[in-house]
Amino acid sequence: MIIMKTDATQEQIEQVIKEIKRYGLRADIIKGEFRSVIGLIGDEKKVDFDHFTTLPGVKEAMMVETPYKLISREYTKFFREAGEQKIIKVGKIAIGGNEPVFIAGPCAIESKAQLLKIAERVKKAGGHILRGGIFKPRSSVHSFQGLGATDWKRAEEALKWLYEAGKRFEMPVVTEVRGESHVDLVAEYVDILQIGARNMYDQDLLTKVAKKKKPVLFKRHFGAGIEEFLSFAEYIAAESNKNIVLCERGIVPVGKGKDYTRYILDLGSVPAIQKETYLPIIVDPSHATGRSDLIFNMSCAAIAAGASGLMIEVHYNPKEALVDGGQMITPDELKDVIDTCQRIHKLITPRRNKK
C-alpha cells in the first residue's frame, strides 16, 4: 500500500501507478478527504517498498498481507475515519445506512401477473427492493430452472417485467446472474446484480459482473469460511467496484441437521464480518432455513446480530410457487417481520454505532 502525502500532485500519483505497473501489478486508487492511498493488486512479495518511499509525493509504502485488503477496515483507516461504514446507494435506497433494508419477492418469476401482484404487496408491506429469479441455480436438471432457461427471448421478457414492476412500485430490482453469458443482458434491466452462493468462487463471473459498475449482491457459498468469502468479494473490489453488499445465507448443515433446516444460518459471521470490512452485510433467512415458519425468528435474530438488511422470499400463495414454496412467507407475514425488525434495529442502533 502506498500512502501519498497530503500535498501530492496528480503527476506524482501517476508516477507511482507507473511504477506499480512496472512490477506487473495493478493499482487501486482511493482519493480520501485528505490524502490519496494506492492499493496494490497482485503479488506484493516481488515489490521493493523501500524504492517507493523514495518517490516524490510518497509518505509511506508498506506491504499489506490480508487477502481482502481493498475491502478491509484496516485499509480504510489511512483515508477515512476508522470504523466508517460504506453506504451503497441504489436509487433512493441506502444499504448500510441508518435504516435496515428489506429485499423481498418471489424465489422465481413465473409470470408477469405473479410478479406484479407480489411486487405491489411487497411495497405495501414496507419492502425496499424487489427480487425475482430468472436464471435459477437448481440442484436437479429436472426441476424448474427459471424462465431464463427457456430461451433468450423469454429471459429478456421476464427482465422487462422485473424492470417494469420496479418502476411501477418504485423499488430498485435485483436478480441473479448465473453465468458469464447472462451478465450483459441482465445488467441492462436491473439495479443490482446478484451472485448466488454456488457461484461465489467463479472469479471470471465476479470480474465480469464487477465491470458493469453496478452494485453487486454477493452471497456466501455454503462451504466457504469467512476469509474465503471476503477474499472472493475482493475480486469485485479489484475491478474498482466497491459497491458490494455481502449476504450470509447459511452454511452446510451437519449430521441430521438437514432434516430440520436447509442450511445453518451462521449469524456469528455477521458481526465478525462487520468488524473486518466496511461493506454492509445482509442476511437471507429464506434459503438458510428453508422453512417459512422460522423466518420471523431468524429475521429478528439477524437484525439483532447487526445485519444491514434482509432478503426474504415472498409469495401471496406459497403453496402454488414452482420453487421454494416451503420457505416463502406471505406479504402480511413480511409486514410483521419488517415492523418488528425495524423496532429491533432502533433498539440496537446505539450499540451498532460503537462497533
Which positions lie near ligand PEP, rule CB under 6 A? 107, 133, 137, 176, 196-198, 219, 249, 284, 287
Comparison of 210 and 283: residue with beta carbon closer to ligand PEP: 283
**What is the distance of C-alpha 44 from the center of its chain?**
27
Asked if residue 176 binds Mn ion (CB under 5 A), the reply is no
CB of 235 to Mn ion, least distance (A): 24
C-alpha cell of 256? 441430521
CB of 250 to ligand PEP, least distance (A): 7
CB of 73 to ligand PEP, least distance (A): 25
Identify the residue among 104, 324, 337, 341 touching Mn ion (CB under 5 A): 324
| Integer Cα distance of 290 and 310 in angstroms | 15
Q: How many residues are there in the chain?
A: 355
Q: In what order do the strands lie in the sheet with 26-31?
A: 26-31, 36-41, 2-4, 58-61
110 touches, from Mn ion, ligand PEP, none (C-beta below 5 to 8 Å by class)? none
- Count other Cβ atoms within 10 Å, centred on residue 18: 11
| Integer Cα distance of 193 and 105 in angstroms | 15
Asked if residue 284 binds Mn ion (CB under 5 A), the reply is no
Nearest Cα to Cα of residue 285 among 202, 206, 339, 341: 341
* Helix, strand, coil tally for the chain in percent (to 5): 45, 20, 40
CB of 136 to Mn ion, least distance (A): 7
Comparison of 208 and 249: residue with beta carbon closer to ligand PEP: 249
* Single-letter residue type at 348: I
| Integer Cα distance of 3 and 7 in angstroms | 12
249 touches, from ligand PEP, Mn ion, none (C-beta below 5 to 8 Å by class)? ligand PEP
Asked if residue 110 binds Mn ion (CB under 5 A), the reply is no
**Beta-strand pair 101-105/309-313:** parallel
Cβ partners under 8 Å of residue 3, min gap 6: 35, 37, 58, 59, 60, 61, 78
* Single-letter residue type at 262: R
121 touches, from Mn ion, ligand PEP, none (C-beta below 5 to 8 Å by class)? none
**What is the distance of C-alpha 2 from the center of its chain?**
28
Give me the residue whose beta carbon is nearest to ligand PEP.
196
Backbone phi, psi, residue 208, to 5°: -65, -40
219 touches, from Mn ion, ligand PEP, none (C-beta below 5 to 8 Å by class)? ligand PEP
Identify the residue among 107, 200, 205, 237 touching Mn ion (CB under 5 A): 107
CB of 215 to ligand PEP, least distance (A): 15
248 touches, from ligand PEP, Mn ion, none (C-beta below 5 to 8 Å by class)? none
CB of 200 to Mn ion, least distance (A): 16
28 touches, from ligand PEP, Mn ion, none (C-beta below 5 to 8 Å by class)? none
Comparison of 37 and 200: residue with beta carbon closer to Mn ion: 200
CB of 105 to ligand PEP, least distance (A): 10
| Integer Cα distance of 318 and 332 in angstroms | 12
Comparison of 137 and 253: residue with beta carbon closer to ligand PEP: 137
| Residues in contact with Mn ion by the rule CB under 5 A | 107, 324
